[in-house]
Amino acid sequence: MDSGSHKHTLLTGNLNKRYQNRRQLSEILHKGRTDRGHFAGKLVALERDNSTRKIVIVVKENQGKRIKCSLPPSKNLYHNLTAGITKDIQVAMSNPAVVVLDVDKSVYYDYQLEYDQYQFILGQELFSTIPDAWRGSSDEEEIPTQSHERVTLPDAQESQSTHQQSKHTAAPNAKLGGKMPPDWTPILNVNSYLGNRVEKIAGIVHRADPIRTTKMGDWAMELDIVDETSIQPLEIKLYASEKVHLPPEGIIDKAIMFTKLRILQRKGAYNYAQGDKNVFQYTCYENNNIFHDVGFVRLDDDANPRPERIHWLTSMDREGLQRLLRWSRNELRPVEQIPKPNGRSSLTHKLLKDIAHNESITCTVEILDIWTESHEVDLKVTDYTASPHLFEPNSTRWSHPPGRRTMRVRLRDDAAGQAQNLVVGNIYRIKNIRIKDDRGLFYANGGKGPSGSQGTLISSVDPSDTYYKELLARKRRLEGGGSLTSSPTNPPDPLPVLKSPTKATLVQPTSVEAGPPSASIDETEQPIQQQSASIAEPSVTDKKGKVSVENRDLPVLRESYPEFPRFMGEVEIASTVECANAPRHPHLTLKDIRYTPQVPRMFYFYARIVDIIPSGVADAVHSSCTKCGPIDKREDTHACPRCKRSNTVQHSIRFHFVLQDSERELPVEVFDEAADIFFSRRLHHLMGTTGGSNSLQVGGISEIFGFVGKVYMTLENDDPCSGQWLRRYALSGCRIRGPNAR
Partner DNA sequence: CCTAATAGCGGGACATCATC
Partner DNA sequence: GATGATGTCCCGCTATTAGG
Candidate segments 418-426, 436-444, 607-615, 731-739, binder of DNA by CB under 7 A: 436-444
- Please check whether residue 622 is in contact with residue 634, taking contact to mean a CB–CB distance below 8 angstroms: no
User: What would the 3-class secondary structure string for 378-403 be?
Assistant: EEEEECCCCCCCCECCCCCCCCCCCC
d(CA 313, CA 310): 6
Which part of the chain contacts DNA (CB under 7 A), choosing from 11-19, 499-507, 543-551, 727-735? 11-19
Beta-carbon neighbour count of residue 223 at 10 Å?
24
Counting contacts by CB under 7 A, is residue 5 touching DNA?
no
Q: Is the CB of 394 or the CB of 722 nearer to DNA? A: 394
Cα 365 vs. chain centroid, distance in angstroms? 23
* Among the residue ranges 17-25, 197-205, 308-316, 503-511, the one whose residues contact DNA (CB under 7 A): 17-25
> Nearer to DNA by C-beta: 394 or 647?
394
Identify the residue among 396, 529, 598, 722 touching DNA (CB under 7 A).
396
State the DSSP code for 8.
H
395: contact with DNA by CB under 7 A: yes
Should residue 23 be labelled a site residue for DNA when binding is judged by CB under 7 A? yes
Q: Candidates 1-9, 173-181, 440-448, 585-593 — which segment interacts with DNA by CB under 7 A?
A: 440-448
Output the smallest distance, CB 558 to DNA, in A. Answer: 14
| Alpha carbon distance 695, 680 (integer Å) | 14
- Residue 653 identity (one-letter amino acid): I
Q: Which is nearer to DNA, 376 or 703 (CB)?
A: 376
Q: Which of residues 258-277 bind DNA (CB under 7 A)?
A: 266, 269-270, 272
- Stretch 57-76: interaction string toward DNA, x if CB under 7 A: ------xx------------
- Please, which residues have CB within 8 angstroms of residue 334's CB and are 6 or more apart in sequence? 167, 595
Residue 108 as a binder of DNA (CB under 7 A): the answer is no
Task: Pick the closer one to DNA by CB: 322 or 360.
Answer: 360
Q: Taking contact as CB under 7 A, which single stretch among the options 14-22, 146-154, 500-508, 579-587 is the one that binds DNA?
A: 14-22
* Options 3, 5, 337, 451; binder of DNA; rule CB under 7 A: 451
Q: What's the number of CA atoms in the CB half-sphere (13 Å) around residue 45?
A: 8
Task: Assess 233 for contact with DNA (CB under 7 A).
Answer: yes
Cβ-in-10-Å burial (0-12, 13-18, 19+) of 106 comes to: middle
Of residues 588 through 607, those in contact with DNA by CB under 7 A are none
Query: Minimum distance between the CB of residue 27 and DNA, rounded to whole angstroms?
Result: 6
Give the total of residues touching DNA (CB under 7 A).
Answer: 47
Q: Does 373 bind DNA (CB under 7 A)?
A: yes
Residue 49 binds DNA, judged by CB under 7 A: no
Q: Are strands 649-653 and 621-625 parallel, antiparallel or unpaired?
A: antiparallel
The residues near 23 (Cβ < 8 Å, ≥ 6 apart) are 37, 38, 39
448 binds DNA (CB under 7 A): yes
581 is a site residue for DNA (CB under 7 A) = no
C-alpha to C-alpha distance for 244 and 265, rounded to whole angstroms: 27
Could you give the dihedral angle defined by the CA atoms of residues 535, 540, 542 and 548, in that order, rounded to the nearest 10 degrees? Answer: -60
Integer angstrom CA distances of residue 30 from 19, 39, 101, 170, 326: 17, 14, 8, 13, 21
| 449 touching DNA, by CB under 7 A | yes
Is residue 450 classed exposed, middle or buried when 0-12, 13-18 and 19+ CB atoms within 10 A define those classes? exposed
Return residues touching DNA (CB under 7 A). 13, 16-17, 20-24, 26-27, 63-64, 224, 232-233, 235, 266, 269-270, 272, 369, 371-373, 375-376, 378, 393-397, 410, 412-413, 434, 436-439, 445, 447-452
